[in-house]
Amino acid sequence: MNHIEETFSLDAAILRLHEEHFPELEAELRRIYAKAGLKDNPNLLPVLHGDLNKQGAEILISGINPSYPKKEYRKLDEDVFDSDLFKRRGTAERERILEDLIQIQKHLIHGGGKADGLKQLPYFRAIKSFSEAAGLRGWDHVDIFPHRVTSQDFFMQALKVAPRYEEAALGVFIDFLSASDYKVVCLFNSGASGLALGKLRKFFELKEIKLGIPKSANQRHGFYTSNVCGKPMRFFLYRMLSGRGQPKKEEREQAMKFFKTHLSAQVL
């Protein structure tokens, strides 16, 4: 059963990141939005997760950052996500809002719950289908970067000129991994896979396990072993399961076959 060390609070670390380093990223996002003629508010509260260990998940699934699904969120009061308004509220109201954010996120990932009018997002439905077909025992989801931005292209552009935010956010993610004991970290996104092969390697070494999964120049997927702060961990890198660039059905089925075989033989 997976557990998160009691001395580490992911949500507390995310809120510190938001207060101390997000302004750097926000300033660049505002510039990008203005250039694109958009009036979106980039100053949104980050995603929070609550207790991740109750279901005993042994698999962690991660992407780059949470997209801001306007069509879904607009079914709620968008002010709940506004960071400036949050700062002006009292302590009791802040605590209520933070709990609401946790419940909304759980609803968007797993469905059900009390978030009236919200649906489980298609991305997570695809992950659920993949995980069930691969025989997973349960999974948690935590993106590498916790801030909501509708366009991942805009987010990646802003990240290039926000080095302090990037370094701090990667540090939070690594601290979370080292405080947990997930057996496999699945990066179901080509951008996240690229980050793992690039910048995350500054924190730990990744050694590929040769399994024979076919690759091409624009596909980053495969199994890797690593040692994260003294803990053995597997990484499964795979390009996105849904949206633009998603693999064909035959490719998904082949990846699931390798995934399931390798996990059952060496990990679970």
Looking at mean pLDDT, say which of 59-68, 70-79, 85-94, 208-217 comes out highest.
85-94
**What are the extents of the domains in the chain?**
10-267
What's the whole-model pTM score? Answer: 0.85
8 A C-beta contact, residue 25 and residue 158: yes
CA distance 59 to 38: 37
| Phi, psi (deg, nearest 5) at residue 115 | -80, 85
Residue 156 pLDDT exceeds 50? yes
pLDDT over 50 (residue 243): no
- What class has domain 10-267? alpha beta
Residue 2 CA neighbour count, 13 Å, CB half: 27
Tell me the CA distances in angstroms from 65 to 208, 250, 260, one per residue in order.
25, 27, 26
Q: CB atoms < 10 A from the CB of 200, how many?
A: 22
pLDDT beyond 80 at 72: no
CB neighbourhood size of 166 (10 A): 20
For the stretch 33-57, pLDDT in tens is: 999 998 888 888 999 998 885 567 7
Which pLDDT belongs to residue 32?
Answer: 96
Q: What DSSP line would sit under the chain, residue for residue?
A: -----TT--HHHHHHHHHHHTHHHHHHHHHHHHHHTT------BPPP------TT---EEEE-S-----HHHHTTS-GGGGBHHHHHTS-HHHHHHHHHHHHHHHHHHHH--SS-TT----HHHHHHHHHHHHTT-S-EEE--SS----S-HHHHHHHHTT-HHHHHHHHHHHHHHHHHS--SEEEEESHHHHHHHHTGGGGTS--EEE-------TT---EEEEEEETTEEEEEEEE--SSSTTPPPHHHHHHHHHHHHHHIIIII-
Lowest mean pLDDT among 52-66, 108-122, 135-149: 108-122
Proportion of the chain above pLDDT 70, given as a percent: 71
pLDDT in tens, 112-131: 655 555 677 877 887 777 77
Residue of higher predicted confidence among 179 and 254: 179
244/128 Cα distance (integer angstroms)? 18
Render 214-250 in DSSP notation, one character per residue: ---TT---EEEEEEETTEEEEEEEE--SSSTTPPPHH
Token digits of residue 12: 């507390």
- Residue 125: the pLDDT is 80
Whether 163 has a pLDDT exceeding 60, the answer reads yes
- Name the pairing type of β-strands 231-238 and 222-228: antiparallel
Confidence check: pLDDT of 218 > 70 = no
